[in-house]
Amino acid sequence: MLKLPGGGAAIVCGGRGRRKLCSACRKNESTKECDYPAPGVGHNTGTCDKALCAGCAVSVGPNLDHCPSHPKAAEAPSGE
């Protein structure tokens, strides 16, 4: 049971099933999806779409996250 400093108790939902686990660590709840371009792999988006938690997702840009297993995309050249 978690107690918050404010005096209230945190509501801990005991529901299971709807949350996807991170496909990389399989421990944390996923909050992101891989945006790595993977034509033919995803259902329809053409991206990897694997579930990733915040700790595993590799941020490659605004709203862009990749699986840690992907090779790093060509790093954007700094400058121009």
Query: Is residue 58 a contact point for Zn ion (CB under 5 A)?
Result: no
The reply on whether position 57 binds Zn ion by CB under 5 A is no
Radius of gyration of the chain (CA): 17
Tell me how far apart the 2 most distant CA atoms of the chain are, in Å. 52
| Contact stretch for Zn ion (CB under 5 A) within 2-10, 12-20, 48-56, 71-79 | 48-56
Choice from 32, 34, 51, 58 touching Zn ion (CB under 5 A): 34
Q: Compute the least distance from the CB of residue 4 to Zn ion, in Å.
A: 25
CA distances from 74 to 7, 64, 78 (A): 49, 14, 11
